[in-house]
Amino acid sequence: MIIDDAHYDAIVIGSGAAGGTVASALAAKGRTVLILERGGSLAREDQNVADVDLFRKDRYHPDEQWFGTDGDPFNPQAIYALGGNTKIWGAVLERMREPEFDGLAFQGGKAPAWGVRYAEMAPWYDQAEALYRVHGQAGLDPTEPARTVAYPHPPRPIEPFLEPLRSALQRQGCRPYDLPLTWSEDADDPTGDAELFGVDAALRHGGTSLRTGARVTRLHVNPSGTEVRGVEAEICGQRWLFRGDQVVLAAGAINTPAILLASSSDPHPEGLANGSGQVGRNLMKLQLSAILQRASEQNSGTYPRSLGINDYYWGDKNVSFPLGHIESGGGVLQDPLFAESPPVLSLVTRLLPNEALKRLAVRSVCWWATSAVLPDPDNRVTLRNNRIRIHYLPNNLEAHDRLVYRWLDTLQAVEADPLTRVVNRTWIHPRGEAPMAVMGFACGTCRMGADPGSTVVDLEGRCHGIGNLTIADASVFPSCPGLSPGLTVIANALRLADRLP
């Protein structure tokens, strides 16, 4: 094993939404930081892919097989790169709503409270929106949480054909709003991400070092198991050991528990920080369904996500439990999630030649319906012969189905409206749920809370009983919001970084 000469104030594992953000915050405080990232820089031509290639499903899948609930191997959609999953995200950065922090009652049960209230998170959301240059418009969304500052930038203009669709939705009593987007203004790569606003910002401070192609395999502790003394990584086939005062795990909600489980030792026989037995448990991932409408005219197929609708977020006229969020998916030629999802189109994409596929895509308007799931200790990440195994059965399904049917009703009403000309009237709206392989929205596998008996980290992200190990990524979510989690990951990372010495 090669032992690195340097000693760092902090070692950050992973450079995605959490890792990149923590690194930049620590570097700004003058700390020496080492970022260990298993991926490398994503080639420009692989960023923001906008063509039918996306449907062939070979993009954005690492050369890795995980085992699924049925025990069969599958190839996850995830990205190991500088910036992590933010390199291919939809760039929608939303705040969680106040009641979601307090433990929301769903049809199938009550979600746990976070132990951190919205009011405590609000200043970190302000900072996160400023750091990631979020463009948005307050005051339109009926579920919008309280804010004391305006969005740092006005909303992005939406595609012209979506304006009449916005009016059509308003005629149906919906209150569409401009989705808040992180936007860099770079012509080649306009959406913001954690490489740009996290890693690059950290590197501008002199004290940051970056090792790419560095897959962390294990954390080593002192004999009493109360401190991490070394971080082991595989780099170009060789084992390396790095040392730092603080270690921040931010490898994402699947790989963070995998690293902890692989780090068992005499003081931690069931895996590091796993005294509660909760490491890897309570895996949640947003329920996602794509729904297609037929546009009456061609669009570019390459525009960003645009309109959000939360009129059914807390329920609808028939039920008083939360259903979820709707958003216009943006052009289907640049949406890696869509490329994975609708089974109807999956078949078509395999059969159709590129040109025909493109013609179909540019006549489509995609909507995403998203709903929360509840934590379930049986939904979990484990290791089998050091390979990742996911046991996952989604819940809160009735709420999601209701949301989808409510939205189909709304689309049909919009299409029947004689004033609406931008979409065609159809009786069938092809739709499909994101399959197991879509893991980008995973959270909850190292839940945060004050009780060491039932949680993995405390309210400051520190692993119970291990003084210098913090978990900063989506693993720490005690519950799953009903809409995009990325801004909460970033805001929480800023909050935790502020408390790190």
Question: Nearer Cβ to ligand FAD, position 422 or 469?
Answer: 469
> Does the footprint of ligand FAD cover residue 85 (CB under 6 A)?
yes
Minimal CA–CA distance to 220: which of 199, 241, 236?
A: 241
Give the count of beta carbons closer than 10 Å to the beta carbon of residue 144. Answer: 18
> Does the footprint of ligand FAD cover residue 121 (CB under 6 A)?
no
> Does the footprint of ligand FAD cover residue 33 (CB under 6 A)?
no
Question: Nearer Cβ to ligand FAD, position 112 or 257?
Answer: 257
- Rounded to whole angstroms, the Cα distance separating 15 from 37 reads 6
Q: Which span sits near ligand FAD by CB under 6 A: 65-73, 117-125, 239-247, 250-258?
A: 250-258
- Rounded to whole angstroms, the Cα distance separating 131 from 279 reads 31
> Does the footprint of ligand FAD cover residue 440 (CB under 6 A)?
yes
Using the rule CB under 6 A, which residue among 34, 91, 369, 463 binds ligand FAD? 91
Sheet holding 387-391, edge to edge: 73-74, 66-67, 387-391, 380-384
**∠207-210-216 over CA atoms, to 5°?**
125
Residues 291-350 interacting with ligand FAD (rule: CB under 6 A): 336-337
Task: Report CA 10 to chain centroid distance, whole Å.
Answer: 24
Half-sphere exposure of 259 (CA within 13 A, CB side): 28
> Does the footprint of ligand FAD cover residue 484 (CB under 6 A)?
yes
Using the rule CB under 6 A, which residue among 10, 11, 12, 19 binds ligand FAD? 19
Q: Which span sits near ligand FAD by CB under 6 A: 68-76, 99-107, 251-259, 391-399?
A: 251-259
Q: Which span sits near ligand FAD by CB under 6 A: 34-42, 343-351, 395-403, 409-417?
A: 34-42
Give the count of beta carbons closer than 10 Å to the beta carbon of residue 488. Answer: 26
Q: Which span sits near ligand FAD by CB under 6 A: 17-25, 126-134, 314-322, 387-395?
A: 17-25
Q: Which span sits near ligand FAD by CB under 6 A: 10-18, 266-274, 406-414, 455-463?
A: 10-18
Question: Least distance from C-beta 299 to ligand FAD, angstroms?
Answer: 19
Please tell me the count of residues contacting ligand FAD according to CB under 6 A. Answer: 40
- Rounded to whole angstroms, the Cα distance separating 200 from 113 reads 34
3-state secondary structure of 401: helix
Q: Which residues contact 33 (CB under 8 A, 6 or more apart)?
A: 8, 9, 10, 11, 12, 23, 26, 27, 202, 207, 208, 209
Q: Which span sits near ligand FAD by CB under 6 A: 9-17, 49-57, 374-382, 452-460?
A: 9-17
- Rounded to whole angstroms, the Cα distance separating 335 from 345 reads 14
Question: Least distance from C-beta 256 to ligand FAD, angstroms?
Answer: 8
Q: Which residues contact 117 (CB under 8 A, 6 or more apart)?
A: 98, 101, 102
Residues 441-480 interacting with ligand FAD (rule: CB under 6 A): 441, 473-474
List contacts with ligand FAD (CB under 6 A).
Answer: 13-19, 36-39, 80, 84-86, 88-93, 215-216, 250-253, 255, 259, 336-337, 440-441, 473-474, 484-487, 489
